[in-house]
Amino acid sequence: MHGLKIHISLTFALLLASGMLLTNGIITVLWQHSLVNGVIENNTAFLEAVAKNSDGKTGGILRFFAPMREQTPGLCAAVLLDGVWQTTPDSSCSPPAKLRMVAEQAKTEGRTATSTTGNALGFLFLQQEYIYMAVPFPAVPGSSGAISLSYPLRPIWQVLRQDQKIILVYILINTLVLSVIGFFRLASIILRPIDRLVQGTSSYRGENHPALVAEGEGSEFRRLSSAINGMVRRIDEDKINLQETIHSLKQANETIQATQQEMIRAEKLASVGRLSAGLAHEIGNPLGIVLGYLGLLKEDAISPEEKADYIQRSEQELNRINMLVRQLLDFSRPLPATNEPVHIHSLLLDIQHMLQAQKKNKEIAFETAITAEHDIVQGGAETLRQAFLNFFLNAIDAIHETNHPEQGKISIASRNTRDNSGRTMLQVIISDNGSGISPDHLKNIFDPFFTTKDPGKGTGLGLAVSHTIIENCGGVVHARSDGNKGTSIIVELPIMDK
């Protein structure tokens, strides 16, 4: 606030002084003009009186100027009569050429002539130093002449400068006095109410509304106070509404998180069902083999070596069944949500091996080009496994839709890239040569409940759940498809800082 007071004081004083100086300048210019005109009028009248009362003799005419020369040093008079030029005997006379030129002009034109010359410092700028005046007069019948006078203006400017010093001192005093009076008046009218506004708004903590100005203040400040009080009330109301909105959003977020977990569990159960259907075929073959070996072991004609071989083969088949069931149990077991380092390469290979073990996927070729140097990301291993499993299952379904699974191929590639902010990312591309996705459907495949499968064959949640999981890990996912030439899912996840 002190800076504002100083600024207002200096501005007020500067404007006041500038106004006074400009006014003084205009008055001084008019004053100078009036003085010069007065000198011309007075001296011209004197010259005309001399010309009227002269006896026609040059010496008698010049004697009229003796008293003036004593009062005004530098004054010079001259008479031009029938071509004869004579000046007052004074070496300080102004240049005779200029004086004679004015006399010749007055004689020729038969009227008063004036001119100025030289430079002398006036009040604020250079002014004329001399005024030249000449009047014609008939000296002797049949002859003509002129009386001329050069009048120095320097004494006038000196007096004017002395007067201006007094005026400037007066302006300075007036500026100081009026500035002080104006400052206190402005402080009373403007600064003090502003101080109260600042103190009132600074002390406001939301408990009560500040009384910003008194009742006797100007109408503008009362309006400003009313506007600020209204704004404060609206802020309080908005604050209450914001708190209610935050509470509602918090509850909605908790509901969304719970719903998201339910969606993940539902999609997980759907995936388990699909895997179980394929696993039933895989278990059927080794069970048939074991039953065959058990039937052989009941026969009495086999040798002990054959019995041992049958038992060993049965154990191998049972171990195979146990491994398949354990993989399914490990996948379907609900694990708590975690945020831990996850090796994506190991996760991808585990999913690939689990899917390759199923009979219906035996004909599909899996190709890997895992070249990323860094594959550790921050997230939950179970949720990321679910996300990538959904991508693989969709690729397998797309290949079976072509009715030529023996020509099916799924490619898994990875590499390290950088995003726009410079972060190191892990890019995983899962590509298939299945039926592909039409351009009309491509932009909607990550929407919940959107599916192109026949009723009962898809929930429409798989890709939506995967999209949410990837985004929760700070990554992005998008799809690319060339019509019926296959589909590629591109996943980018931020690498975990070491």
Q: Between 46 and 224, name the one with better pLDDT.
A: 46
How many residues are present in the chain? 498
Considering the domain boundaries, does residue 301 fall inside one? no
| Residue where one domain finishes, among candidates 119, 146, 176 | 176
**φ/ψ (deg, to 5) at 73:** -60, 140
pTM for the predicted model, two decimal places:
0.41
Distance between CA atoms of 15 and 7, rounded to whole angstroms? 12
Q: Which of 266-280, 376-390, 457-471, 477-491 has the lowest mean pLDDT?
A: 266-280
Considering the domain boundaries, does residue 47 fall inside one? yes
- pLDDT band of residue 46 (cuts 50, 70, 90) is confident
Nearest to 24 by CA among 126, 120, 165: 165
Which tokens hold the place of 26?
A: 């205009």
pLDDT in tens, 335-347: 455 678 999 999 9
Q: Which residue has the tokens 């008055």?
A: 27
Instruction: Output Rg (C-alpha) for the chain, integer angstroms.
Output: 56
Q: Between 58 and 259, name the one with better pLDDT.
A: 259
pLDDT of residue 328: 59
DSSP 364: S
Number of domains into which the chain is organized:
2
pLDDT at 456 over 70: no
What's the CA dihedral at 53, 59, 64, 70 to 10 degrees? 170
- pLDDT band of residue 125 (cuts 50, 70, 90) is low
Q: Which of 49-63, 121-135, 201-215, 471-485 has the lowest mean pLDDT?
A: 201-215
H or E stretch covering 350: helix 344-356
Kindly report the average pLDDT of the chain as a whole number.
78
* Cα-Cα-Cα-Cα dihedral sign, residues 49, 51, 54, 58: positive
Q: Which of 233-237, 324-328, 363-367, 411-415 has the lowest mean pLDDT?
A: 324-328
pLDDT at 412 over 90: yes
CA 66 to mean position of chain CA atoms: 82
Q: Which residue has the tokens 């379907």?
A: 332
- pLDDT band of residue 426 (cuts 50, 70, 90) is very high
H or E stretch covering 100: helix 96-109
DSSP 360: G
The 10 Å CB-count burial string (b at 16+, else e) for 33-49 is eeebeebbeebbebbee
pLDDT at 410 over 90: yes
pLDDT at 215 over 50: no
Distance between CA atoms of 240 and 477, rounded to whole angstroms? 39
Q: Are 447 and 433 in contact (CB under 8 A)?
A: no
- Determine how β-strand 476-481 pairs with β-strand 130-137: unpaired
Q: Can you give 412-454 as a three-state secondary structure string?
A: EEEEEEECCCCCEEEEEEEEECCCCCCHHHHCCCCCCCCCCCC
Question: Which residue type does 57 have?
Answer: K
pLDDT in tens, 130-186: 888 998 876 555 557 888 888 888 888 888 888 888 888 888 888 888 888 877 777
| Residue where one domain finishes, among candidates 148, 176, 204 | 176
pLDDT at 398 over 80: yes
CA 77 to mean position of chain CA atoms: 77
- Average pLDDT rounded to a whole number, residues 367-378: 92
Distance between CA atoms of 272 and 331, rounded to whole angstroms? 8
Which tokens hold the place of 424?
A: 């190191």
pLDDT of residue 475: 92
Considering the domain boundaries, does residue 269 fall inside one? no
Between the ranges 119-133, 322-336, 467-481, where is the mean pLDDT highest?
A: 467-481
Q: Between 64 and 487, name the one with better pLDDT.
A: 487
**φ/ψ (deg, to 5) at 136:** -80, 155
| CATH number, residue 43 | 3.30.450.20
Distance between CA atoms of 71 and 63, rounded to whole angstroms? 14
Considering the domain boundaries, does residue 362 fall inside one? yes
| Residue where one domain finishes, among candidates 176, 197, 217 | 176
Decide: residue 95, CB within 10 A, 0-12 exposed, 13-18 middle, 19+ buried: middle
Distance between CA atoms of 418 and 495, rounded to whole angstroms? 10
pLDDT of residue 268: 58
Distance between CA atoms of 467 and 119, rounded to whole angstroms? 91
Please name the residues in contact with 361: beta carbons below 8 A apart, sequence gap of 6 or more. 278, 355, 396
Which tokens hold the place of 386?
A: 């679910």
Q: Which of 3-7, 383-387, 436-440 has the lowest mean pLDDT?
A: 3-7
Please name the residues in contact with 498: beta carbons below 8 A apart, sequence gap of 6 or more. none
Which tokens hold the place of 131?
A: 């005024």
Which tokens hold the place of 371?
A: 């070249």
pLDDT of residue 60: 65
pLDDT at 460 over 80: no
Q: Can you give 294-315 as a three-state secondary structure string?
A: HHHHCCCCCCHHHHHHHHHHHH
Question: Which residue type does 199 have?
Answer: Q
pLDDT at 23 over 80: yes
Distance between CA atoms of 76 and 374, rounded to whole angstroms? 107
Please name the residues in contact with 292: beta carbons below 8 A apart, sequence gap of 6 or more. none
Considering the domain boundaries, does residue 7 fall inside one? yes
- Average pLDDT rounded to a whole number, residues 319-324: 69
Q: Are 77 and 71 in contact (CB under 8 A)?
A: no
pLDDT of residue 491: 94
Provide the domain limits for residue 426. 338-498
Q: Between 293 and 248, name the one with better pLDDT.
A: 248
- Average pLDDT rounded to a whole number, residues 321-349: 70
Distance between CA atoms of 227 and 231, rounded to whole angstroms? 6
pLDDT of residue 278: 54
Considering the domain boundaries, does residue 89 fall inside one? yes
Considering the domain boundaries, does residue 453 fall inside one? yes
- In the chain, the percentage of residues whose pLDDT exceeds 70 is 74
| CATH number, residue 478 | 3.30.565.10
- Average pLDDT rounded to a whole number, residues 455-462: 59
Which tokens hold the place of 306?
A: 């054959």
Decide: residue 351, CB within 10 A, 0-12 exposed, 13-18 middle, 19+ buried: buried
- Determine how β-strand 409-418 pairs with β-strand 365-370: parallel
